[in-house]
């Protein structure tokens, strides 16, 4: 047998696992890497598949379910909106709470909840006003802080001064227009007065005079400042 044949036979014997020779460290490492890669590939495939399924589900939900509901809801609350605009709050309350529940999770449902909450407030049902206004969270900045301010009104009327004060200050600081900011700051100051916290009330009155000196809403601000100073013995 030639030397070449001997070498070929020995090579074939080793490759087939013959003999008592243990696998080399390099072979074990290669096997581990292959196993790890196979695991990672499966995980990656499953992960991508899950993302695709979730994405398709979301798109289907939005286009096949949510958008039709949104369109239906906006059509359904049209009459309620008209009634709210002319202050027919008792009539609004016949439909708005049901529409808020039916179209929950849509812009239409959000508007219906706002109409219901505000109407309950204006008709003296403060607990239901809080219930509905507390659910409202508009993307529109003007409506967002208007709803927060109305929630503060309902809470103050319901004798929860601390919660109402918190929402008045939140509405005042977040309001983008000057009129709303002044309006809610003044409401906050009056709550501080009710709580006999005259120093805090004075701070707001002085802020209004400094930051909103041209606003018509603070025409009598000096009178409030004088009263608050008297209560805090600053004279």
* Residue 223's CATH number: 1.25.40.10
Of 8-12, 29-33, 196-200, highest mean pLDDT: 196-200
Looking at residue 56, its pLDDT comes to 53
pLDDT category of residue 11 using cuts at 50, 70 and 90:
very low
Least confident of 66-80, 99-113, 184-198: 66-80
**Do 70 and 117 belong to one domain?**
yes
Looking at residue 93, its pLDDT comes to 96
Cβ atoms of 121 and 148 within 8 Å: the answer is no
Q: Which two tokens stand for residue 168?
A: 């008045």
Would 2 be classed as within a structural domain? no
Cβ atoms of 146 and 180 within 8 Å: the answer is yes
Looking at residue 144, its pLDDT comes to 93
Would 120 be classed as within a structural domain? yes
User: Is the model's pLDDT at 31 over the cut of 50?
Assistant: yes
Mean pLDDT over 139-160 rounds to 94
The pTM for the full model equals 0.71
* Burial tier of 156 (Cβ tally within 10 Å: 0-12, 13-18, 19+): buried
Give the residue, 155 or 47, on which the prediction is more confident.
155
Domain boundary among 137, 163, 195: 137
**Do 158 and 102 belong to one domain?**
no
Residue 45 structural domain:
30-137
* Domain count within the chain: 2
**Do 38 and 131 belong to one domain?**
yes
User: Is the model's pLDDT at 27 over the cut of 80?
Assistant: no
pLDDT category of residue 10 using cuts at 50, 70 and 90:
very low
**Do 132 and 155 belong to one domain?**
no
Q: Which two tokens stand for residue 11?
A: 């090579």
Would 199 be classed as within a structural domain? yes
Distance CA 20, CA 179 (A): 91
Mean pLDDT over 68-79 rounds to 75
pLDDT category of residue 152 using cuts at 50, 70 and 90:
very high
Give the residue, 55 or 15, on which the prediction is more confident.
55
Domain boundary among 137, 171, 191: 137
**Do 71 and 126 belong to one domain?**
yes
Looking at residue 54, its pLDDT comes to 66
């Amino acid at each position: 047998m030639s030397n070449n044949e001997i070498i070929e036979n020995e090579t074939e014997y080793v490759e087939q696992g013959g003999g008592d020779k243990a696998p080399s460290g390099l072979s074990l490492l290669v096997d581990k890497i292959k196993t790890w890669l196979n695991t990672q590939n499966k995980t990656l495939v499953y992960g991508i598949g899950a993302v695709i399924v979730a994405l398709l589900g979301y798109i289907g939900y939005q286009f096949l379910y949510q958008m039709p509901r949104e369109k239906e809801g906006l059509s359904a609350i049209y009459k309620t909106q008209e009634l709210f605009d002319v202050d027919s709050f008792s009539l609004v309350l016949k439909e708005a709470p049901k529409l808020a529940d039916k179209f929950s999770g849509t812009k239409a449902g959000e508007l219906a909840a706002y109409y219901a909450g505000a109407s309950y407030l204006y008709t003296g049902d403060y607990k239901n006003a809080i219930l509905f206004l507390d659910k409202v969270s508009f993307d529109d900045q003007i409506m967002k802080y208007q709803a927060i301010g109305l929630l503060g009104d309902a809470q103050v009327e319901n004798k929860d001064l601390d919660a109402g004060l918190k929402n008045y200050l939140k509405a005042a600081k977040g309001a983008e227009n000057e009129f709303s900011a002044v309006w809610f700051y003044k409401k906050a100051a009056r709550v501080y007065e009710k709580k006999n916290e005259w120093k805090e009330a004075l701070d707001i009155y002085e802020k209004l005079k400094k930051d909103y000196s041209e606003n018509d809403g603070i025409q009598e601000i000096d009178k409030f400042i004088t009263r608050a100073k008297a209560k805090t013995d600053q004279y």
